[in-house]
Chains A and B, each alone.
Chain A
Amino acid sequence: MLKRSQKNYTYTGYLYILPWVIGFLLLQLVPLVNSLWYSFTQFQLLGDPKFLGLANYKKIFTADATFLQSLKVTFYYVLIAVPLKIGFALLVAIILNQKIKGINLFRTLYYIPSILGGSVAISVLWKYLFMNQGVINNIIATIGIPAIDWLGNPSLALGTISLVTIWQFGSSMLLFLAGLKQIPVSLYEAARIDGAGRMRIFFKITIPELSPIVLFNLIMQMINAFQDFTSAFVITQGGPLKSTYLYGLMLYDQGFKFFKMGYASALSWILFAIILFFTSLTFRSSESWVHYGDSI
Chain B
Amino acid sequence: MKRMLILLLIAFLAMGTVFATGSKEVAKEDGPVTLRLSWWGGDSRHTPTLAAMDAYMAKNPNVKLEGEYGGWDGYYQKLVTQIAGGTAADIIQIDQPWLAELSSKGDVFTVIDDSMVDLSQFDAAFLKNYCSYDGKLMGLPTGTNVNTFVVDTKMLADFGIDPNTKWTWENIISEGKKINEQDPSSYFSGATPDNLRAWLEIYIAQLAGAVVDDNKQVAFTEAQGTEAFTYFKRWFDEGIIAPFRQTSLFYQKFQENPDWINGKMAAARIFVSSMEKDFAGRPNFETRQFPVMDGAVNTGILMRPSQIFVVNNNSKNKDEAIKLLAYLFTDAEAIEKLGLARGIPSTAIGRSVLAEKGMISEMVEKATNEGIAQAGDPQSVYQMNSEVIQVMQDVIDEFGFGRLTPEEASAKLIKNLEATLASL
Q: Footprint of B on A, CB under 8 Å?
A: 28, 30-32, 34-36, 38, 43-47, 127, 131-133, 149, 151-154, 219, 223, 226-227, 235-237, 239-242, 248, 251-253, 255-259, 261, 264-265, 267-269, 271-272, 275-276, 279-280, 283
Residues of B within 8 A of A241 (CB): 397-398, 401, 403
Report whether A131 and B401 are in contact in the complex, using a CB–CB cutoff of 8 Å: no
Residues of A within 8 A of B17 (CB): 226-227, 248, 251, 268, 271-272, 275
8 residue pairs from A and B, CB less than 8 Å apart: A30-B23, A32-B18, A36-B18, A46-B105, A47-B106, A237-B251, A268-B20, A279-B11
Report whether B20 and A35 are in contact in the complex, using a CB–CB cutoff of 8 Å: yes
From residue B74, how far is it (CB to closest CB) to chain A in Å?
Answer: 9
From residue A54, how far is it (CB to closest CB) to chain B in Å?
Answer: 17
- Contacts A257-B386, A261-B20 hold; do A45 and B81 have CB atoms under 8 A apart? yes
Report whether B105 and A152 are in contact in the complex, using a CB–CB cutoff of 8 Å: no
> How big is chain B's contact interface, by range?
35 or more
Q: Which of A45, A236, A253, A257 has the largest number of chain B CB atoms within 10 A?
A: A45
Query: Which residue of B has the minimal Cβ distance to A133?
Result: B258
The answer for the CA separation of A265 and B20 in the assembled complex, in Å, is 6
Indicate whether B14 reaches chain A with its CB closer than 8 angstroms.
Answer: yes
Residues of A within 8 A of B62 (CB): none
Report whether A32 and B15 are in contact in the complex, using a CB–CB cutoff of 8 Å: yes
Q: Which of A46, A271, A279 has the largest number of chain B CB atoms within 10 A?
A: A46
The residue from B14, B19, B102, B105 contacting A223, defined by CB atoms under 8 A apart: B14
The answer for the CA separation of A280 and B8 in the assembled complex, in Å, is 11
The answer for the CA separation of A182 and B32 in the assembled complex, in Å, is 64
Residues of B within 8 A of A47 (CB): 105-106
Q: Which of B111-119, B204-212, B241-249, B291-299 contacts A (4 or more CB under 8 A)?
A: B241-249
Q: Footprint of A on B, CB under 8 Å?
A: 3, 7, 10-23, 77, 80-81, 83-84, 102, 105-106, 108, 193, 244-249, 251-252, 258-259, 386-387, 390, 394, 397-398, 401, 403
The answer for the CA separation of A152 and B257 in the assembled complex, in Å, is 13
Residues of A within 8 A of B11 (CB): 276, 279
Residues of A within 8 A of B23 (CB): 30-31, 34
User: 4 tightest CB-CB pairs across the interface, nearest first?
Assistant: A152-B245, A46-B105, A240-B248, A256-B77
Report whether B20 and A219 are in contact in the complex, using a CB–CB cutoff of 8 Å: no
The residue from B21, B247, B251 contacting A261, defined by CB atoms under 8 A apart: B21
Report whether A267 and B245 are in contact in the complex, using a CB–CB cutoff of 8 Å: no
The answer for the CA separation of A46 and B106 in the assembled complex, in Å, is 7
From residue B403, how far is it (CB to closest CB) to chain A in Å?
Answer: 7
